């Protein structure tokens, strides 16, 4: 899913008020981690992840990997924090600003 700059800014503003729900450490991304993230996305649409110092992987590459495996969208990566968005298909809670039509 492609986000417009306005939608991305809106999601960033929402993410400022939430604490990281997951910490990625030395084990990095495992199938169990992906399963837990999928379960989280079943109830929530916006996710913040903290990459711990003992994780050797780059936060940006982790964000892309996780987004690909969970079919979510990377909102932002700042330092060791990752914010992902995946809309709920049945009952969306977050209403994004409408994209302008060309």
pLDDT tens digit sequence for 54-80: 988 899 999 999 999 999 999 999 999
Report yes or no: 95 and 11 within 8 Å, Cβ to Cβ: no
99 located within any domain: no
67 located within any domain: yes
102 located within any domain: no
78 located within any domain: yes
100 located within any domain: no
Q: Give the number of other Cβ atoms within 10 Å of residue 74's Cβ.
A: 18
pTM: 0.89
Question: What CATH number should be reported for the domain holding residue 63?
Answer: 3.30.110.60
95 located within any domain: no
pLDDT attached to residue 68: 95
Q: Count of domains in the chain?
A: 1
- Which domain does 22 fall in, by range? 5-85
């Amino acid at each position: 899913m492609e986000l417009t700059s306005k939608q991305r800014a809106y999601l960033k503003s929402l993410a400022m008020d939430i604490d990281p729900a997951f910490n990625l450490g030395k084990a990095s991304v495992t199938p169990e981690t992906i399963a837990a993230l999928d379960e989280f996305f079943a109830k929530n649409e916006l996710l913040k992840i903290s990459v711990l110092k003992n994780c050797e992987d780059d936060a940006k590459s982790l964000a892309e990997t996780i987004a690909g495996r969970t079919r979510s969208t990377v909102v932002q990566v700042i330092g060791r924090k990752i914010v992902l968005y995946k809309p709920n298909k049945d009952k969306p809670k977050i209403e994004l600003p409408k994209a302008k039509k060309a």
